Each structure stands twice: as structure tokens, then as C-alpha cells.
């Protein structure tokens, strides 16, 4: 089950059924199936608290993914700062909705085992995000 939750922010407008189909399709490309995935939309203050408490990092970020996956089943908590998503959308000159989808699928890609810790891996991750966003256009 994929759940969508908001903490300390207004829930963004989401096409939940379409998002669920899209997430399943992307997971399938990596030989995975969604299990228990919780998206938690929050503000910068909350994501900074999560980053400090659980990762001992003292900086803002757009997403933090906690991976509890087992075998082929994706399980995890995906925290997304809507403040940072909005800032990034302005910086990259894309819509808030497009940037939010990119960040949401970024979390799924992490759950499938994709990494972005080096410049090379980051470039691969962006290409995979772009491919997933192209797939989004075909999902009804």
C-alpha cells in the first residue's frame, strides 16, 4: 500500500491512483513491487529535524528515504520537504507539480537500490528520473 501523509503542511494536490500506477510501473522496471511505502510531506523545519535526529546531518534537503525493503518488495518512508521542492521548482524553472513528481520518484529509485552519492551515480539517477517522468506521461 502506498500512503500519502502531511505533517505541518497542507497536503499537495495529488493524482493518487495515477501516481500509484506510475510507481508500480517504475518499480516493475527494476524487478520490484511496491509494498508499504509512506510518503510524508513536510516543511523544511521537519525535514531538518529528521535529518539531524536519524542521519546526524545538519542541513536542509528535499528528500530523505528510509529503506525497509525486503527481497523484491519495496517498503519505506519517504520524507519530502514541500518548501525545498517549491524552491527547487523556481530554481530549475519547472512547475511545482513536475518537481514534486521528480522527487517522489527519486525516493522510489532509492528503494530499488539506486544511489546518487558520486557525480557519476548522480548523473545516472537524473537519467533514470527523466525516464520515469517520460513514463508518467503515458500513465492514465
pLDDT in tens, 11-58: 999 999 999 999 999 999 999 999 999 999 999 999 999 999 999 999
pLDDT in tens, 75-113: 999 999 999 999 999 999 999 999 999 999 999 999 999
Residue 22 pLDDT: 98
Percent of the chain past pLDDT 70, that is, above it, reads 100
- C-alpha cell read off for 45: 523545519
Residue 4 pLDDT: 98
Residue 138 pLDDT: 96
CA-to-CA distance for 101 and 103, rounded, in angstroms? 5
**Counted domains in the chain:** 1
Of the pLDDT bands very low, low, confident and very high (cuts 50, 70, 90), residue 130 is very high
CA-to-CA dists, residue 12 to 52, 62, 80, angstroms? 25, 15, 11
Q: Look at residues 47, 39, 37 and name the one whose alpha carbon lies nearest to residue 76.
A: 37
CATH number of the domain bearing residue 71: 3.40.390.30
CA-to-CA distance for 37 and 49, rounded, in angstroms? 21
Residue 126 pLDDT: 97
Residue 95 pLDDT: 97
DSSP string for residues in the chain: -EEEEESSSPPPP--HHHHHHHHHHHHHHTT-EEEEEEEEEE-HHHHHHHHHHHH---S--SEEEEE--BTTEEEEEEEEEHHHHHHHHHHHT--HHHHHHHHHHHHHHHHTT---SSHHHHHHHHHHHHHHHHHHTT--
Residue 34 pLDDT: 97
> What's the domain range around 118?
2-136
Amino acid at each position: 500500500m502506498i500512503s500519502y501523509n502531511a505533517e505541518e503542511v497542507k497536503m499537495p494536490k495529488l493524482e493518487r491512483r495515477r501516481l500509484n500506477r506510475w510507481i508500480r510501473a517504475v518499480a516493475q522496471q527494476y524487478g520490484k513491487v511496491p509494498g508499504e511505502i509512506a510518503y510524508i510531506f513536510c516543511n523544511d523545519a521537519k525535514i531538518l529535524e529528521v535529518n539531524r535526529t536519524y542521519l546526524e546531518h545538519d542541513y536542509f534537503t528535499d528528500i530523505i528515504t528510509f529503506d525497509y525493503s525486503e527481497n523484491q518488495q519495496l517498503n519505506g518512508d519517504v520524507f519530502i520537504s514541500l518548501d525545498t521542492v517549491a524552491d527547487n521548482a523556481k530554481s530549475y524553472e519547472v512547475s511545482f507539480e513536475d518537481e514534486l513528481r521528480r522527487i517522489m520518484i527519486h525516493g522510489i529509485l532509492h528503494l530499488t537500490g539506486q544511489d546518487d552519492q558520486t557525480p557519476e551515480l548522480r548523473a545516472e539517477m537524473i537519467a533514470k528520473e527523466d525516464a520515469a517522468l517520460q513514463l508518467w506521461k503515458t500513465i492514465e
